[in-house]
Structure 1
Amino acid sequence: MATTFVSPMSRRRLLQGAAGFAALPMLTKLANAAPAQALSFIGWPFAPQAVEENVGVFRKLYDENVNYELITGDYQAVAETKLTGGQTYDMMYISEFRIARWHAANWIRDLEGLEGVEDIKAALLPVSLESLTLPNGKLGALPYYVGHYCFVYNEEHLQKAGLGVPDSWEALIDACRKLKKDGISDAPYNGAWGRNWPELSWSLFSSWYSEGAQVFDEKEELVPDAAFRKVLETYRMLYKDGLVTADIMTQPNEGVPSYSSGRHTFQLMHDYNQKVVNDPKVSKVAGKIRNALMPGANHATLAWTEGYAMGAQPVDVERTWNLLRFSGGKAKDGEYHVIKRWALEFGLSSAYSEVMADPEVVEDFKKWRDLDTTRKQLQLAKSRKIAKSIWFPEWDAFMMQRAQEYIRGGLSTDQLIDELVAKVSELKKVYQ
């Protein structure tokens, strides 16, 4: 499995694009590039065949020319390496915790002033608008999808054990011990604990929020309060007591195939993966998996919105904006071609209420998850404001690596927290 590694980069190096960018022609001049020149678009390795097909629809609908490039492996690290080396793209997938960083480096531009952008902002879910907005208040990307971490359980396992759905971390631990003792599951809990960027970090943040931890304050300082510590110690207890598989930190595909085997009872997962584990073509537990509110003191969770960004030097602003709106909004024919397809085929929720209220989407979604629970969970969800700090990706990668070592028993809670606090201070000095 590819792991996240962000090489240390000084603020000077990250921001060195600013000086060179200032000497470039204005974007209005770049818009005069010949229409025959292909637009460049890079994406991460999720359903690349479907992405290529979507690009084909755009080519026909707009009589356009687009080159789509799949970035394999760790997209975030590879793309950033390419951009640091001077490679430019017209449109690129972007994670919310990279938007501010890539904008600061002048690898992407904001979308303010472009045709229809105010209407798009008004149509976005508040949590998505917050995620896609730059620290300066300007829109930095259009939405690919909005997701959140959800809590799922195997209903058949709980019935066999005579258990209810746990609503606290203590109850979850007790349930796991009983399920294991009764021989119903040898590893009742499963999750995405790998070091790839949407795994252990998202799992921990969702758990921290569910227990009421602040994690970071308004001054961007780590807040290692009781709730923060409790979640860390719960993860370590799950591992130490054999309530998870020994290979949980190296499972492929965010642990979803393992959960689909029927071996486990509980898992925190990306909300769209509920469609996978309830699909009889790929899952042995299809029809048995239910979603519930996150266990914890306040049942909150982490929500995020992934996006499409416009490169700082597009070959043509108008043409690139057409590609962004086709991918992350409505096409010129008024249809959500890409977004609705992602919802129906892959279970990806949309940042637009209009799409989520589409009767076809609603009918499909309710086949594999309880929509009332999903709506309640989203109301409690929090986005990571700290992700707008350009140093955060490096802290996040460090945190996952050290948290894994901690979970294995390699250091104490105090030692881990001391390291995480020190890393915040170190990175702030590097980027100041």
Structure 2
Amino acid sequence: MPECIGRLGDWGATPLGGRKTMVKSTSWNAPNLTRRHFLGAATMVGAGAMLPRSVFAQAQPWAEAPSSSVDRLNMAMWTYGDVWPTAAKQFEAAWGVPVEVISIPFPELPTKMMSLYAADETIDISLTSPATIANWHDLGLIEPLGDLPGAQAYVDDMVPTARDSCFFDGELVALPFMGAVWAWNYNSELLEKVGGKLPTSYDELDEIAAKAKADGISQHPYVWCAISSGEHITFTWYSLTWNRGSGLFDASGAPLLGEGSEARETLRWWAKTFADGLSDPSSLQLSMDASARAFATGGHLFRGPTQHYGLRVINDPDQSPIAGKGVLWEGPLGPRTITSWHLAYVSANTRDRDWAWMLLQQVAGKTKSGEYEMAKQVAKAAGFGPGYKSLVEGGFIEDVWSSWMDVSKYKQLQDNASNSFEVVNAFYKPWYQEWNQRAEIELQRTLTGEITADQCCDNLIAAIPSN
């Protein structure tokens, strides 16, 4: 399970395909996938579409079985405790259909899925991160969902940023499994010791941090999620830059990394906090979860922007000596932050599209009971953000999160958040994933003082393909 990973307005009950979406064009040097994935799947979908949809147009589609029959289903999911086996058992109990769980460690999911598809394995549903859904979609491995029963009701209920993540080229292709907002944390007790006032600029932020260090309140006032892996060091840089007013690429995917850019200035500032001893050098080995545990020791004044649910650990009396003192914060320049969604989809290689849709609803929609059971479970157990307005606005997250986080602040940040692919407009370029891996290395070299921020940005500009 990953250690988690712009408001576009409330679209209301806009019909499927009736909203403006980004056209995300990518390519992938794939293994030798069979023709079935690119043409045969379309034939199967077409055959299914020939059935009268009125036959399957229930008022409660999650509660009525399809007219077809299957003897089994499967789901290829990242490893996450006993969550998926439990969901599989619940589905079998509800519908009498056994479900095989193919458990894959999160970092291996993209490679393993490509191998399964290349081997022509039947996959009914799976999960995808923001970094891989575009490739899956462009390769024809994801089923469109818009014509399936109840799909419109899910769309109408989605949080706007989740809704945008679930569409490609005007088609609904996924349901939101969970999301996260990137934000800062501060230690309220330590902040009181240095005056009790939150900064409204990065200069003020550094003044407070320097005072905390000089007065012996905190040896390293800043701690960061800055390990060189996945949604860690690069997303921290993205978040800092976005909070200061800019993305990393323009609308065409051209880099905004040159002299005078916010990204470059942000990196200069960030590197200086390490050089000045304000940032904990161990941050370069800390993931999201590890940085939360480091902050929970009480030695740091600020935890740099990362996913919101780390506060569940920081404010847990059983895990943290500073429980109740960790506070969610938008950062020095206001509630301008990033959100990212992890999604569940029906595979084009499913054995039965309608039954796969039922299973997809089990893990990312409503179960036979009519409840968003999985969304509620992971929100309560792990603090993951639900993708549906009825849960966010209906009092549910207040009930399960108020003991460890200011839910009103979370909602404010969610309302003002931009999707990661808007902040990084090259997110779906075919070269982005390789470039991001290069950025992880260059950023770490910068924060350790091996190279300057200028050299880092120049190297990253040079690493972008010319065509």
TM-score normalised to the size of structure 1?
0.88
C-alpha spacing 1:277/1:221, structure 2 compared with 1 (3 Å): same
Give the distance between the partners of 1:276 and 1:306, measured in 2 at CA.
21
> What letter corresponds to residue 291 of structure 2 in structure 1?
G
How many pairs align?
Answer: 416
Give the distance between the partners of 2:106 and 2:171, measured in 1 at CA.
30
Q: Tell me, which stretches of 5 or more residues in structure 2 are unaligned?
A: 4-25, 49-65
* Residue 294 of structure 1, aligned match among 331, 345, 351: 331
> What letter corresponds to residue 363 of structure 2 in structure 1?
S
Give the distance between the partners of 1:418 and 1:360, measured in 2 at CA.
47
Cα deviation for residue 86 of structure 1 reads 3.4
Structure 1 residue 278 and structure 2 residue 282: aligned? no
C-alpha spacing 1:287/1:243, structure 2 compared with 1 (3 Å): same
The aligned counterpart of 2:340 is 304
> What letter corresponds to residue 373 of structure 1 in structure 2?
K
Greater displacement, 13-22 / 262-271? 13-22
Q: Is the 8 A contact 2:38 2:139 kept in 1?
A: no
Structure 1 residue 122 and structure 2 residue 159: aligned? no
The aligned counterpart of 2:236 is 203
Give the distance between the partners of 1:398 and 1:182, measured in 2 at CA.
38
* Residue 69 of structure 1, aligned match among 102, 120, 123: 102
Cα deviation for residue 205 of structure 1 reads 1.5
Give the distance between the partners of 1:84 and 1:21, measured in 2 at CA.
8
The aligned counterpart of 2:306 is 269
The aligned counterpart of 1:424 is 464
CA-to-aligned-CA distance 1:153-190 (integer Å, 9 cap, x gap): 00011112224122322222222211111111112111
Q: Is the 8 A contact 1:209 1:382 kept in 2?
A: no
Give the distance between the partners of 1:118 and 1:359, measured in 2 at CA.
23
What is the SS of the residue equivalent to 2:200? coil
The aligned counterpart of 1:377 is 413
Q: Is the 8 A contact 1:17 1:106 kept in 2?
A: no
Structure 1 residue 14 and structure 2 residue 59: aligned? no
Q: Is the 8 A contact 1:96 1:132 kept in 2?
A: no
Q: Is the 8 A contact 1:58 1:323 kept in 2?
A: yes
Give the distance between the partners of 2:82 and 2:125, measured in 1 at CA.
18
What is the SS of the residue equivalent to 1:305? strand
Cα deviation for residue 230 of structure 1 reads 1.9
> What letter corresponds to residue 107 of structure 1 in structure 2?
L
Structure 1 residue 367 and structure 2 residue 403: aligned? yes
Greater displacement, 204-213 / 373-382? 373-382
Structure 1 residue 227 and structure 2 residue 262: aligned? yes
C-alpha spacing 1:392/1:86, structure 2 compared with 1 (3 Å): farther
- What are the equivalent positions in structure 2 for 1:65-214 lying under 5 Å apart? 65-72=98-105, 74-79=107-112, 82-83=115-116, 85-86=118-119, 88=121, 89-134=123-168, 136-214=169-247
The aligned counterpart of 2:54 is none
Q: Tell me, which stretches of 5 or more residues in structure 1 are unaligned?
A: 4-9
Q: Is the 8 A contact 2:88 2:98 kept in 1?
A: no
What is the SS of the residue equivalent to 1:24? helix
C-alpha spacing 1:405/1:86, structure 2 compared with 1 (3 Å): farther
> What letter corresponds to residue 232 of structure 2 in structure 1?
E
Give the distance between the partners of 2:74 and 2:324, measured in 1 at CA.
41
* Residue 413 of structure 1, aligned match among 447, 453, 467: 453
Give the distance between the partners of 2:117 and 2:354, measured in 1 at CA.
25
Give the distance between the partners of 2:106 and 2:127, measured in 1 at CA.
14
Q: Is the 8 A contact 2:34 2:118 kept in 1?
A: no
The aligned counterpart of 1:27 is 44
> What letter corresponds to residue 366 of structure 1 in structure 2?
S
CA-to-aligned-CA distance 1:170-215 (integer Å, 9 cap, x gap): 2222222111111111121112101221211221211111000132
Cα deviation for residue 332 of structure 1 reads 3.0
Q: Is the 8 A contact 2:314 2:323 kept in 1?
A: yes
C-alpha spacing 1:76/1:300, structure 2 compared with 1 (3 Å): farther
Greater displacement, 105-114 / 174-183? 105-114
> What letter corresponds to residue 128 of structure 1 in structure 2?
A
Give the distance between the partners of 1:280 and 1:190, measured in 2 at CA.
21
> What letter corresponds to residue 199 of structure 1 in structure 2?
H
The aligned counterpart of 2:53 is none
What is the SS of the residue equivalent to 1:223? coil
Give the distance between the partners of 1:207 and 1:278, measured in 2 at CA.
24
* Residue 238 of structure 1, aligned match among 260, 273, 278: 273
Q: Considering only aligned residues, what root-mean-square deviation do their CA atoms show, in Å? A: 2.6
Greater displacement, 250-259 / 342-351? 250-259
TM-score normalised to the size of structure 2?
0.82
C-alpha spacing 1:347/1:310, structure 2 compared with 1 (3 Å): same
Q: Is the 8 A contact 1:127 1:382 kept in 2?
A: yes
> What letter corresponds to residue 407 of structure 2 in structure 1?
L
* Residue 388 of structure 1, aligned match among 428, 445, 457: 428
Structure 1 residue 249 and structure 2 residue 271: aligned? no
Give the distance between the partners of 1:276 and 1:371, measured in 2 at CA.
16
Give the distance between the partners of 2:461 and 2:36, measured in 1 at CA.
35
